[in-house]
Chains A and B, each alone.
Chain A
Amino acid sequence: MGEFGPLTQAVIDGNGKKVIELVNAALAEKATPQSILSDHMIPGMIEVGKLMSEGEYFIPEVLKSAKAMNGALEILEPLLASGPREFAGYVIMGTVDGDIHDIGKNLVCMLLKGSGFEVKDLGVSVPMAKFIEAVNAKDGKIILGMSALITPTLDEMPKVIKAIEAEGLRSRVKIMVGGAPVTKEFSDSIGADGTAPDAPSAVTLAKNLLAA
């Protein structure tokens, strides 16, 4: 593990109390909310993603770090909204119908928000019609993210993709899928635009999909 500043390290350690203390201290010293997020907290989550891909961190540790980051985001978000902010894109996220697991989805939502995306989180066990309704409600090029943890619910993903095609929306919607049972091969086979092995990589994927 490399050398990190105290706030970045506190995010990596999942020390929520310390993260909030350090964020408040940084704000008191007139650091900008964008800089606190981009220069200190997001590098912490990138390191967490790296540790996960190296097999050092697993979901419990990543969840702790994401919760620590989320606690701080509650302080930073109102400040970010009132000031100048980079807008990275619009993402609709949800766990597919029949699946109530949301850890992975929540992690991705948190990191996307932290990276400047506007995120509409539809929650868990989202029916196909609700995904379509959310896509219809937003104009322009957007991302739809679908998550599943348990294999029996994987079948829902191609159903939603087919429905988006049938509605004539596919050309402006980039679709990413994720979750423990989702492989690249599966993602390709159902016609999704991509998948990522962990939450930090999902942010990179979202950026790449909108840039393409």
Chain B
Amino acid sequence: MNKKERFQAVREKRAPDHMPVWPRVMSQMIYAKGWMLSEVTGVDWYDSDKVTQAVLDSIKYVDYDLCIPTYCDYAFGVPPLGGTINIPSKFGVAAGTTDKQPVMTKDDWPKVQKKLAAYNVRTTDPRMKGALEVIKNVSKAVGAEMPLCPMYYVGTTAAMFLFRPNEGLMEDLSEDPEWVDEMAKIATDWAMDWIRAQYEAGANSVAFIAETMGTLMMSPAMGMRFNLPNIARVVEMVKREFNQPTWLHIHGDMTTKKAYEYLTKLAKEAGVEGFHFDEFNPPDWIKENVVDKLGVSACIITDGAKIASGPVEKIKAEVKDMISKIGEGLGIMMAPSCQVLPATPNEHFKAWVDATHEYGRYPLKK
């Protein structure tokens, strides 16, 4: 099986040759080349050639099965809206937004909306323009056999990264929920345009959207109000315009009754095809309650900190143990709890992928 066929088997609950691995690689692949982030991107520039090299080398050496075919970070899109971002110049730190976000108070909102009206996700932020170039290059190189997934955040998470400081948004959730509705919708509109641009550049598989506030920072009731409708809109758009399904990365413990109700709605009402959780959700719970009961596909999760810290033998034992808990293992693949941590050594990353491929040969050993 090639990588596309392997992922297709998971989606159809058939046995692949071995369990595919879906890492979310962001700055780790840059550090793995021995570069600092500040050598490949700045506030208003992005070296597409270097990033292409980093993506392709990462795929070739580590040999994972699905990827986001470019380097992206939390700070994409923010500078043209008036926020400041941080591109670290030392090893192992992720790029991100700062405490100066575009919408510091509600008074800033009208002028940010004006900027959004003139925003072209393909050209306004030079970093995003550069990232699209990388997608084109990666698609040309490996797109025939590898699933390449467009990625961005959705709902309140997108609003947090694009517009509001974290604490401000947390207060807004209880003090000005109608405004949060508006920001989450507008941020999701922006996200949908960015997903469209990634498909046009060469992404060829399921859309991968992230709701990182999940049940870590909000109640399931808040998730249902602010995020469920926006996730449904992304799923519908991706299906209608690109004939692809959508997978959701969601943080937090989904095993509680209320969180599971939210999860059920995400699958049944919003139409999410598959889930990518975090380490709060054990593999046997995922198999029984997500794959078997909800009938959707899902990733079992290795804690990213364990992959980063190793050693290799411990990583292998962890993977073996997890795979032993999922029965026949249909509809399941392996992922890290969030992104592959920036300082993760490539040999740990590869050991984790290799172990999944080794212990995840089908039929799985009980």
Cβ proximity bits A108-152 to B, threshold 8 Å, 1 near / 0 not: 000000000000000011000000000000000000000001111
Q: Which 7 A-B pairs have the closest CB atoms?
A: A152-B94, A98-B93, A151-B338, A60-B173, A155-B343, A58-B219, A60-B174
Closest B residue, CB atoms, query A62: B170
Residues of A within 8 A of B72 (CB): none
Q: Is B304 in the interface zone, CB < 8 Å from A?
A: yes
Residues of B within 8 A of A61 (CB): 174
Cβ A55 vs Cβ B258 within 8 A: yes
Cβ B167 vs Cβ A155 within 8 A: no
Q: Is A18 in the interface zone, CB < 8 Å from B?
A: no
Residues of A within 8 A of B278 (CB): 181
Interface size on A, as a range, is 35 or more
Closest A residue, CB atoms, query B167: A103
A36 → chain B closest CB, angstroms: 25
Cβ A152 vs Cβ B305 within 8 A: no
Residues of B within 8 A of A180 (CB): 216-217, 251
Q: Is A189 in the interface zone, CB < 8 Å from B?
A: yes
Closest A residue, CB atoms, query B26: A152
Report Cα–Cα, A152/B26, bound state, in Å: 10
Q: Pick the residue among B99, B170, B174 that contacts A124 (CB under 8 A).
A: B99
Cβ B170 vs Cβ A100 within 8 A: no
Cβ A58 vs Cβ B166 within 8 A: no
Cβ A155 vs Cβ B92 within 8 A: yes
Q: Is B218 in the interface zone, CB < 8 Å from A?
A: yes
Q: Is A102 in the interface zone, CB < 8 Å from B?
A: yes
Cβ A102 vs Cβ B167 within 8 A: yes
Known: A152-B339, A154-B305. A100 touches B171 (CB 8 A): no
Residues of B within 8 A of A124 (CB): 99
Q: Is A169 in the interface zone, CB < 8 Å from B?
A: no
Q: Is A207 in the interface zone, CB < 8 Å from B?
A: no
Report Cα–Cα, A101/B164, bound state, in Å: 12
Residues of A within 8 A of B341 (CB): 151-152, 154-155
Interface size on B, as a range, is 35 or more
Cβ A152 vs Cβ B27 within 8 A: yes
Cβ A55 vs Cβ B256 within 8 A: yes
List 12 additional A-B contacts (Cβ < 8 Å) besides A58-B217, A61-B174.
A55-B219, A58-B219, A58-B222, A60-B222, A67-B171, A98-B86, A98-B94, A100-B97, A150-B338, A151-B337, A155-B343, A180-B251
Q: List 12 A-B contacts (CB under 8 A).
A: A55-B219, A55-B259, A58-B218, A58-B222, A63-B171, A150-B74, A152-B93, A180-B217, A183-B279, A186-B303, A189-B309, A190-B309
Interface residues in chain B, defined as those with a beta carbon under 8 Å from any beta carbon in chain A:
26-27, 74, 86, 88, 92-94, 96-99, 166-167, 170-171, 173-175, 215-219, 222, 251, 256, 258-259, 278-279, 303-306, 308-309, 337-339, 341-343
A10 → chain B closest CB, angstroms: 15
Closest B residue, CB atoms, query A97: B93
Cβ A151 vs Cβ B304 within 8 A: yes
The residues in A between 43 and 67 inclusive whose CB is less than 8 angstroms from any CB of B are 55, 57-61, 63-64, 67
Residues of B within 8 A of A154 (CB): 304-305, 308, 341
Cβ B96 vs Cβ A150 within 8 A: yes
Cβ B305 vs Cβ A100 within 8 A: no
A62 → chain B closest CB, angstroms: 9
Closest B residue, CB atoms, query A182: B305
The residues in A between 37 and 88 inclusive whose CB is less than 8 angstroms from any CB of B are 55, 57-61, 63-64, 67
Q: Is A24 in the interface zone, CB < 8 Å from B?
A: no
Q: Pick the residue among A14, A57, A100, A151 that contacts B339 (CB under 8 A).
A: A151
Q: Is A32 in the interface zone, CB < 8 Å from B?
A: no
Cβ A186 vs Cβ B305 within 8 A: yes
Q: Is A201 in the interface zone, CB < 8 Å from B?
A: no
Report Cα–Cα, A98/B86, bound state, in Å: 8
Best-buried of A63, A97, A98, A183 by chain B (most CB within 10 Å): A98
